Amino acid sequence: MIKIYLASPYTIGDQALNVKKSIDIADDLIRWGYAPFCPLLVHFQHMVHPHDYETWMKLDLEWLSLCDCLYRLPGESKGADREVEFAKEHNIPVFFSMNKLRGWAKKEMNIEKYFITDGFGNSWDKICHECGKESMKIVRPGKVQCENCG
Ligand SMILES: [Zn+2]
Same domain, yes or no, for 86 and 140?
A: no
Report the pLDDT value the prediction gives residue 1, as an integer from 0 to 100. 87
Same domain, yes or no, for 139 and 91?
A: no
Same domain, yes or no, for 32 and 66?
A: yes
Give the Cα separation of 37 and 22 in Å (integer): 10
| Number of separate domains in the chain | 2
Assess contact for 72 and 58: CB atoms under 8 A: no
Q: How far is the CA of 50 from the centre of ligand 1 (A)?
A: 41
Task: Show the low-confidence residues of the chain (pLDDT under 50).
Answer: none
Q: How far is the CA of 126 from the centre of ligand 1 (A)?
A: 10
DSSP 8-class letter at 129: T
Report the pLDDT value the prediction gives residue 114, as an integer from 0 to 100. 75
DSSP alpha helices (H): ranges in 8-51? 15-31, 42-48
Q: How far is the CA of 43 from the centre of ligand 1 (A)?
A: 32
Report the pLDDT value the prediction gives residue 111, as an integer from 0 to 100. 54
Q: How far is the CA of 128 from the centre of ligand 1 (A)?
A: 5
Q: Which residue segment(s) compose the domain that 116 sits in?
A: 110-146
Same domain, yes or no, for 37 and 53?
A: yes
Amino acid at the residue 49: H
Give the Cα separation of 22 and 10 in Å (integer): 9
Q: How far is the CA of 134 from the centre of ligand 1 (A)?
A: 8
Kindly report the pTM of this predicted structure.
0.73
Q: How far is the CA of 26 from the centre of ligand 1 (A)?
A: 19
Report the pLDDT value the prediction gives residue 119, as an integer from 0 to 100. 82
Q: How far is the CA of 143 from the centre of ligand 1 (A)?
A: 14
Q: How far is the CA of 135 from the centre of ligand 1 (A)?
A: 6
Same domain, yes or no, for 77 and 9?
A: yes
Report the pLDDT value the prediction gives residue 110, as an integer from 0 to 100. 61
What CATH number is associated with residue 91? Answer: 3.40.50.10400
Helix H or strand E segment including 87: helix 78-89
Same domain, yes or no, for 75 and 142?
A: no
